[in-house]
Amino acid sequence: MVRTIEIKVGRSVIEANLKLAKQLRELLNAYSVKAYEFLGSPGSGKTSLIERLISMALGEGYSGVSIGYIGGDVATRLDAERIARHGVQNVQINTGGICHLEVPHIYQAIESLDLEKLELLFIENVGNLICPADFPLGAHRRVLVVSVTEGEDKFLKHPITTRLADVIVINKVDLADAVEVDVDRMERDARGLNPRAPIVRTSARTGEGVDKLYRALMGDEG
C-alpha cells in the first residue's frame, strides 16, 4: 500500500507577489519591453538557451543595448558573466538561500537597466523546478526548460510547473539516445498536462530547434 499526504501552501505571500507581478507587467508594457522568464532545474540549459536566443536576436537587428538579462542564482556571477560576453545589459541577483526570485528582486534589478532602451528582457529564475511556480515575475511568457537528462518522467512529476508554462522546452535532445530517453513520451506527457503551450525540442549544444524556440517567443505578443 502507498500512502500520500497532500501539503497546502500559505496563500497570502503568493497573492501579494501576484499583485506586484501585475504591476510590474504594466511597467514593462509602458516601456514596450517584452519579458521572458526561464525556469527549470539546475543545469537544464536555461543560460545556454538564453545565450543562443541572444545571439539570434542580435543577428536579427536587436542591439546589445535593447536586450537585457536578469539572472537569479543562490551564489556566483557566473551566468551574468556568460551573458555579458554578448554585450548585453545584465544584472545578477544572488538570493543566498532562497530557491526562487520574487517581484521585488526584479524591481531592484531593473533599477540598473535602461528600460527606455530595452526591448527584450530575459529573466532566468533560480535553478529549481518547484519553488518558482507560485511566484510569477510579471514576464509576458514563462518558459519551462526540462532537459532529457533529468529523466523521462519529469513533466508527470511536476504537473503544476508544467501547466503554468506558456512555452515548454525539451532541451539536450542531442543526449536523448545516450541516456535512452523517449522524447516522444516526454512530449506526450507535457501535452497531456498542458494542451496550450507550444512544445519545442532543442539542443543548446548543437543549436537544433533554437530557431523554432525563438519564433515561439518573438511571434507572441502579450
Ligand X SMILES: Nc1nc2c(ncn2[C@@H]2O[C@H](COP(=O)(O)OP(=O)(O)OP(=O)(O)O)[C@@H](O)[C@H]2O)c(=O)[nH]1
Task: Note the residues at the interface with Mg ion (CB under 5 A).
Answer: 46-47, 79
Closest CB to ligand X among 103 and 173? 173
Grid-cell match 538579462, residue found:
69
Helix (H) / strand (E) element for 82: namely helix 78-84
Size of the site for ligand X (CB under 6 A): 18
Q: Which three cell numbers stand for residue 73?
A: 542564482
What string marks each residue from 18 to 47 as x (binds ligand X by CB under 6 A) or -? ----------------------x-xxxxxx
Closest CB to Mg ion among 41 and 162? 41
Nearest approach, Cβ of residue 75 and Mg ion (Å): 12
Q: Which residue is nearest to Mg ion (CB)?
A: 47
Q: How far apart are CA 61 and CA 94, in angstroms?
A: 31
Closest CB to ligand X among 42 and 87? 42
Checking phi first, is residue 76 left (phi over 0); if not, alpha (psi -120 to 50) or beta? left
Does position 79 interact with ligand X (CB under 6 A)? The reply is: yes
Does position 204 interact with ligand X (CB under 6 A)? The reply is: yes
Closest CB to ligand X among 20 and 73? 73
Q: Which residue is nearest to ligand X (CB)?
A: 127
The 3-state DSSP class for residue 23 equals helix
Does position 161 interact with ligand X (CB under 6 A)? The reply is: no
Does position 175 interact with ligand X (CB under 6 A)? The reply is: yes
Q: Which three cell numbers stand for residue 162?
A: 508544467
Q: Are 130 and 144 in contact (CB under 8 A)?
A: no
Nearest approach, Cβ of residue 11 and Mg ion (Å): 30
Given the rule CB under 6 A, which of 16-24, 104-112, 172-180, 186-194 is the region that contacts ligand X? 172-180
Closest CB to ligand X among 17 and 171? 171
Residues in the chain: 222
Q: How far apart are CA 197 and CA 111, in angstroms?
A: 31
Please name which of 201, 203, 204 lies closest in space to residue 184, comparing C-alpha atoms. Answer: 201
Residues 80-119 that bind ligand X (CB under 6 A): none
Residues 52-71 that bind ligand X (CB under 6 A): none
CA distances from 89 to 37, 53, 183, 206, 215 (A): 16, 15, 35, 25, 22
The 3-state DSSP class for residue 63 equals coil
Q: Which residues of the chain form contacts with ligand X (CB under 6 A)?
A: 40, 42-48, 73, 79, 127, 171-172, 174-175, 203-205
